[in-house]
């Protein structure tokens, strides 16, 4: 499936960028008008075979967010801008990752790429997830679409994520990879879109590293 999946990703990422560029321009304008800061946010993530790459996202937080708090967001973080709130709610901030897909650093469907800080904590078994090309969405993101609410109730959100949620998400993705086909990938994309349409999808980034 490797080459067919790559052709599938390449076709839809290029088509998506070609069709969505007016929306990209609108979002960029709104971000600029709010505070004049940069439109995009780049962050190092760990991808296929443990290779690092810079992920693309629309910026949803204040410019110096990393200096104002922890490297994650839980609940209504005051560092999130007004425009950023809506981008996050409907996951529009993730659209620039179509660039990562086009470049071959990501796939449309695959485990969400983690920051090095958390990958360093992986067990040997969990590191098997690095044998899968990371993606924009995945079954774990759908299953944990209300993860933000769960973490907001925790006294130690980061510990809860590391010890409970992260291992389960890795397990779900490894399980999915065994039976993954282009058809099942399309179903994951469809389910993601349906969740987005409900306006309650917290999918990729619902437990967000400062972005």
Q: At what angle do helices 82-89 and 2-35 cross, to 10 degrees?
A: 160
Q: Once rounded to an integer, what is the mean pLDDT over residues 22-45?
A: 95
Portion of the chain with pLDDT greater than 90, in percent: 67
Contact in structure between 107 and 9 (CB atoms under 8 Å): yes
In this predicted model, what pLDDT tens digit does every residue of 99-147 receive, in sequence order?
999 999 999 999 999 999 999 999 999 999 999 999 999 999 998 877 7
pLDDT value for 170: 97
Give the residue extent of every domain in the chain.
Answer: 2-197
Mean pLDDT over all residues of the chain?
Answer: 88
Contact in structure between 157 and 72 (CB atoms under 8 Å): yes
pLDDT value for 168: 95
Q: Closest Cα to residue 174, out of 104, 107, 111, 119?
A: 111
* Bridge partners for 208 per DSSP: 73
Q: Is 58 helix (H, G, I), strand (E, B) or coil?
A: strand
Q: How far apart are CA 199 and CA 132, in angstroms?
A: 29
pTM for the structure as a whole:
0.86
Q: Closest Cα to residue 134, out of 105, 110, 98, 158?
A: 110
Res. 2 pLDDT band, cuts 50 70 90: confident
On the question of pLDDT at 25 being above 60, the answer is: yes
Radius of gyration of the chain (CA): 16
Res. 183 pLDDT band, cuts 50 70 90: very high
Q: Once rounded to an integer, what is the mean pLDDT over residues 68-80?
A: 70
Instruction: Give every CB contact of residue 82 below 8 A, 6+ residues apart in sequence.
Output: 34
Q: Which residue has the tokens 């693309």?
A: 56
Q: Closest Cα to residue 104, out of 2, 211, 209, 187?
A: 2
C-alpha distances out from residue 104 to 54, 56, 107, Å:
12, 13, 7
In this predicted model, what pLDDT tens digit does every residue of 155-174 receive, in sequence order?
888 899 999 999 999 999 99
In this predicted model, what pLDDT tens digit does every residue of 43-65 receive, in sequence order?
999 999 999 999 999 999 888 77
């Amino acid at each position: 499936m490797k080459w067919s999946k790559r052709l599938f990703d390449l076709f839809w990422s290029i088509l998506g960028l070609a069709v969505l560029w007016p929306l990209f321009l609108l979002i960029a304008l709104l971000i600029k008008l709010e505070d004049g800061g940069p439109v995009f946010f780049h962050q190092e993530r760990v991808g296929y075979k443990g290779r690092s790459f810079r992920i693309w996202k629309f910026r949803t937080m204040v410019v110096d967010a990393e200096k104002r708090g922890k490297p994650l967001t839980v609940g209504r973080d005051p560092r999130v801008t007004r425009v950023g709130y809506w981008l996050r709610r409907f996951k529009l901030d993730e659209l620039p990752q179509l660039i990562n897909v086009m470049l071959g650093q990501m796939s449309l469907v695959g485990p969400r790429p983690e920051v090095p800080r958390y990958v360093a904590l992986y067990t040997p078994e969990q590191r098997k997830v690095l044998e899968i090309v990371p993606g924009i969405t995945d079954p774990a993101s759908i299953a944990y679409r209300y993860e933000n609410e769960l973490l907001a109730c925790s006294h130690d959100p980061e510990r809860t994520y590391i010890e409970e949620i992260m291992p389960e998400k890795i397990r779900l993705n490894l399980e999915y990879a065994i039976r993954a086909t282009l058809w099942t990938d399309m179903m994951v994309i469809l389910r993601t879109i349906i969740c987005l349409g409900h306006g309650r999808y917290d999918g990729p980034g619902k437990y967000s590293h400062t972005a």
